[in-house]
Chains A and B, each alone.
Chain A
Amino acid sequence: MRTHVRSALSLCALLLILTTATLALAQDGSKVPDDLPVGSPDVAEMIEQDAAAGEGIDTGDNAWMLMSSALVLLMTAPGLAMFYSGLVRRKNVLSVMMQCMFLMGLMTVVWALWGYSLSFGGSDPYIGNADYLFMNNVQSYYDAQAGEIITPLEGTIPRYTHMLFQGMFFIITPALICGAFAERMKFSSMALFSVLWGTVVYCPLCHWVWDGGILFYGGESAIAGGALDFAGGTVVHISSGISALMCALLIGNRLGYGNDDMRPHNLTYTTLGAGLLWFGWFGFNAGSALSANGLAANAFAVTHFSAAAGAVAWAAMEWISHGKPSVLGCASGAVAGLVCITPAAGFVLPMPALAMGAIAGAVCYWAVIRLKHKLRYDDSLDAFGVHGIGGTLGAILTGVFATRHVFGEAAGKPIGLYEGGGISLLIGQIAAVGITILYSVVITFILLKLIDFTIGLRVSQESEIRGLDLAEHGEEGYIFN
């Protein structure tokens, strides 16, 4: 009975949100065309209107950005879903895939309703405003006075495209955190945590770094000059990696951690997932140029180089220390290289990118192989070890390797430490890393405690032993008849 009441309340809440959104749209009367062609539309007029609506859009940029948006979505599922699900035990394979798939839905709804507005609305240094709530000022509208359809623009692309591209980052970031609490967190708690985390951690950070906030490089309100973060070193990887560590610490180790057999159940999934992540990352980083230009080409090249060096470095570390280079190590190294180059993709040249990838491969290897076991926290799928450590490394190394040859700063002054640009950028990068870590730790701690006191974080012991696939979803990943 109680379950039914709870379900009914949840459904009501969802309907309420959707109704509010619909009403908000309906109230905006001026944007509803009152002379829409009815019956047999004047096709020529509509084509003319479409052409007029397209003025100011660079179709090349828009084509690349739409493609990039799709590539980034591909990273969450099947990319991350396969990468993570292969690493868990077979009784939990579906639970991890479900988290990725469900977050593609849930975070998109949040992004459409308020996430994009909180991230990219207005010019307040701390948080966005209500400009884009419910997709207002993002969606097209018919301007009666001008007699044409207006599509709001963001630079040379429709704001739709910008919203979609950024929305894909909003989806994958909490999905990354799932790697830390895999095999033991309640699905309902994961969903609630993701909505809250996305709203109060991701949106402000995104606004601070990318929309003129307190960490925006060279911005008026920037702390220590702000930070360069091309595609999400601080916004995506440090925030998710650090929050992941908090999750692992607060939810506790898996039952039998350190004693039971917790080997990855299917490394073929993991390897294919890593390949898909590598592929999708081209959209993630090269798309962050927001344009199909030389900067995007640079970002594409350095992304590929860093991933390559990361894969080789991690595998080489294993080869030296264990006598065999493992497939899992090679896949993990590639992801570490990709994470590390993310903040730097639009600021560094290919050779430093090779170095960054190699450093990331070696340092993340150390974090995952040595640090984790020494401190005995159960970051199940190494979300912190790869994203937290790799992201921090990338953000700091951006301050070292950023160069005027890629990033068009005024007067062509040197930027990074390596080319004689002084230490100021490095200080800005470190300050941004510190603020991101502090903010993520504090807010994630509060959110987790809040959820723990209300609906609880962790599944029952019985459910954990039985596996989350059956206990939480009533399904099995493998039925061989």
Chain B
Amino acid sequence: MKKVEAIIRHHKLEDVKDALNEMGVHGMTVSEVQGYGRQKGHTENYRGAEYSVDFVPKHKIEIICSDGNLQLVIDTILKSAQTGQIGDGKLFIYDVKQAIRIRTGEMGEDAV
């Protein structure tokens, strides 16, 4: 099992969700996050005072999938979250040792 963690633009969330649903990948966790990469934030101007805003708001989605589905998930996210402009975000992939569904006690891929 793998965990795919994607940092994406706010307005791309619906596209990513719909594309994954179409591919038969159900279930994700979404959180509001802030951060910066090469983009390095932006500056705002209030009555002549400039403020540099280092942290840019983004969405983070987390998806647990089977090893066989991993490439499909990655391709789908890349395709649906991409604008080509700076600030499109990043993907991280982790190994997941175990998953347990709390309601039934099912384990492994059955729980995903």
Interface residues of A (CB under 8 A from B): 261-264, 322, 324, 326, 328-329, 332, 368-370, 372-373, 382
Contacts and interface: CB of A to CB of B under 8 A. Distances in A.
Given A368-B48, A372-B48, A373-B48, 16 more contacts: A261-B51, A262-B49, A262-B51, A263-B44, A263-B46, A263-B51, A322-B45, A324-B45, A326-B46, A328-B46, A329-B47, A369-B47, A369-B48, A370-B48, A373-B49, A382-B47
The 3 A-B residue pairs with the shortest CB-CB distance in the complex, in nearest-first order: A369-B48, A368-B47, A263-B51
24 contacts: A261-B51, A262-B49, A262-B51, A263-B44, A263-B46, A263-B51, A264-B46, A322-B45, A324-B45, A326-B45, A326-B46, A328-B46, A328-B47, A329-B47, A332-B47, A368-B47, A368-B48, A369-B47, A369-B48, A370-B48, A372-B48, A373-B48, A373-B49, A382-B47
Interface string B39-60: 0000011111101000000000
Nearest to A322: B45
B44 to A, nearest CB: 7
Contacts of A369: 47-48
A324 B42 CA distance: 14
A322 B51 CA distance: 14
Nearest to B48: A369
A91 B77 CA distance: 39
Chain B binding surface SS class = strand
A373 to B, nearest CB: 6
A332 B51 CA distance: 19
A131 B74 CA distance: 84
Interface residues on B, range: under 10
A262 B47 CA distance: 11
A370 to B, nearest CB: 7
Nearest to A257: B49
B12 to A, nearest CB: 24
Contacts of B48: 368-370, 372-373
Chain A binding surface SS class = helix
A400 to B, nearest CB: 28
Nearest to B52: A261
Contacts of B49: 262, 373
Contacts of B45: 322, 324, 326
Contacts of B47: 328-329, 332, 368-369, 382
A382 B48 CA distance: 11
A369 B49 CA distance: 8
A266 to B, nearest CB: 12
A297 to B, nearest CB: 34
Contacts of B51: 261-263
Contacts of B44: 263
B43 to A, nearest CB: 10
B46 to A, nearest CB: 6
A328 B45 CA distance: 10
A370 B47 CA distance: 9
Contacts of A324: 45
A328 B51 CA distance: 15
Contacts of A332: 47
A315 to B, nearest CB: 13
Interface in B12-66: 44-49, 51
A263 B44 CA distance: 9
A390 to B, nearest CB: 14
Nearest to B47: A368
Nearest to A264: B46
A329 B46 CA distance: 8
Contacts of A264: 46
A261 B46 CA distance: 11
Nearest to B44: A263
A329 B45 CA distance: 10
B60 to A, nearest CB: 20
A385 to B, nearest CB: 8
Nearest to B45: A322
A368 B46 CA distance: 10
Instruction: From B44, B45, B51, name the one whose CB has the most chain A CB atoms within 10 angstroms.
Output: B45
Contacts of A382: 47
A378 to B, nearest CB: 11
A50 B103 CA distance: 78
B35 to A, nearest CB: 17
A43 B48 CA distance: 65
A368 B47 CA distance: 7
Nearest to A326: B45
A261 B43 CA distance: 12
A444 B69 CA distance: 74
Instruction: From B44, B46, B47, B51, name the one whose CB has the most chain A CB atoms within 10 angstroms.
Output: B47
